[in-house]
Structure 1
Amino acid sequence: MKYSISWLLLLLFLPFAASAQTENPVYDEIAPFNEGLAAVRVGNQWGFINENAQMVIDFRDDLVWNQDADTSIPGVLGIRYPQFKNGRCMIQKLKVNNIPFYGFIDTSGEIVIQPEYLNITEFDQENAIGIYVREMYQGQNEIKLDIVEYIFTEVVVNINGEIVWPIMEREHALTAKRRYEVPKLRAKLIGKDLLEFKTEDNKWSVKKLNLNL
């Protein structure tokens, strides 16, 4: 009789144990919650869970993070783990010469700002600073290869992906992959519409922006 009760208890316990294993996944890393979502990592992929521990954005390999990030650096090099700010989370895509370009997804996981920036900050007060890359087709050369010129502009961009203020042209930002370094940002927002930027003679200036234009 004693053995029968033990087997009965074991049979009753097994479904609960299996359920517990299913409902409590194991992650390599869990980032802090921000805007109701927390990034979770398995290997080199990240996804997002909500405050009910439910996965709301599945694991993907294009989210921006750097385990050795210096978080004092503005832009992509200072991002320790993925997170949402103003409803936007940064992604990257390898493009010209396998150089990463950066954009953003929304909380549904959809790309809402295309990867068109060589460097960009996370959003703050619905704006970010980024180095935007524009392609200009110049035709074909004598061996029928397309010639494309790249124009780089440091800009203020809003959460809809609209460039709301051009700050300055940036030259020689894109080079061969073996010599490539992420270009540093020369401007930062110190208020919703107050811009601090470095001048050509390496000094600092401040400009009041009219973002309602």
Structure 2
Amino acid sequence: MKKLLIIFFMIPIFGFSQTTEEFDFIAPYSDGYAAIKKGESWGFVNDKGTIAIDFRYDLVLTETNGNKYPIFKNNRCLISEIKKGITYFGYIDKTGNTVIEPKFLNAINFNNNKALALGILKEELGSNDILGKNVVSYRYFEVIIDTDGNVDTYLNPKGINVVLDKEYLKTPPEITSKQISNNLFVVRTKNSKWMIKSIE
């Protein structure tokens, strides 16, 4: 009889794994995970309703159906980090580990294992002997990256000059290119027109 009572009381404990916490917002599922909000921080629950990624402040929100919340696409979720007053973007996986370090000036969610991002190139121009400093120049490029953060394609090979200073770069530069199908991207030209690029 004692064994039967122990089993009876254990069933409710093991039969339900979802959290009993209250949240300020619960998003629809995307890629098997749903974003949850508590205060100003966000986390994720898995398809069993268990908190899979604890609450944090670096998740990037995506506007979806009139709401803004973080999402997973292709097992990646956007994060951001502020370094010297400038925001950089990277990605975590479904364990919450950073798999692509925040190094892009802007980035969007993955689609078909590709994402658009703004990659930075640093060029050494020489040195200033009076100030004792190297003279450097920065350019950013609209690039297509894979789920490991490797650059597959440069969409604007000439790039755009940028000053990496918080006084000049108060908000992330805009990504103007768009993915219109699995392998087709549209790129804005200097004449403010559009060109289609096929990526294999």
- Of 24, 32, 35 in structure 2, the residue corresponding to residue 39 of structure 1 is 35
Matches within 5 A, 1:56-71: 56-65=52-61
Q: CA RMSD in A?
A: 2.7
Distance 2:124 2:81 in 1: 21
- Of 46, 54, 72 in structure 2, the residue corresponding to residue 50 of structure 1 is 46
Q: Report if the CA contact (8 A) 1:65-1:79 is conserved.
A: no
Displacement of 1:102: 0.3
Matches within 5 A, 1:119-134: 119-134=106-121
State yes or no: 1:118 paired with 2:114. no
Distance 1:53 1:124 in 2: 25
Query: Normalised by the size of structure 2, how large is the TM-score?
Result: 0.79
Partner amino acid for 1:191? Answer: S
Query: Normalised by the size of structure 1, how large is the TM-score?
Result: 0.75
Which range is displaced more, 106-115 or 185-194?
185-194
Give 1:177's aligned residue.
166
Distance 2:59 2:167 in 1: 23
State yes or no: 1:166 paired with 2:154. yes
Matches within 5 A, 1:194-209: 194-209=184-199
Give 1:87's aligned residue.
75
Q: Runs of 5+ in structure 2 lacking a partner?
A: 1-11
Q: Alignment partner of 1:181: what SS?
A: coil
State yes or no: 1:105 paired with 2:92. yes
Displacement of 1:135: 3.1
Partner amino acid for 1:89? Answer: C
Give 2:8's aligned residue.
none
Q: Report if the CA contact (8 A) 2:61-2:71 is conserved.
A: no
Going from structure 1 to structure 2, the CA distance change for 1:86 and 1:61 (only over 3 Å counts) comes to same
Displacement of 1:36: 1.2
Partner amino acid for 2:21? Answer: P
Q: Which has the higher strand share?
A: 2
Structure exhibiting the larger radius of gyration computed from Cα positions: 1
Which range is displaced more, 86-95 or 44-53?
44-53
Q: Alignment partner of 2:68: what SS?
A: coil
Task: Give the share of equivalent positions with the same residue, in percent.
Answer: 32
Q: Which has the higher helix share?
A: 1
Displacement of 1:172: 3.3
Going from structure 1 to structure 2, the CA distance change for 1:161 and 1:205 (only over 3 Å counts) comes to same
Going from structure 1 to structure 2, the CA distance change for 1:111 and 1:137 (only over 3 Å counts) comes to farther
Q: Report if the CA contact (8 A) 1:188-1:195 is conserved.
A: yes
Distance 2:105 2:67 in 1: 14
Displacement of 1:173: 3.8
Q: Alignment partner of 1:80: what SS?
A: strand
Q: Report if the CA contact (8 A) 1:45-1:59 is conserved.
A: yes
Distance 1:65 1:191 in 2: 23
State yes or no: 1:191 paired with 2:181. yes
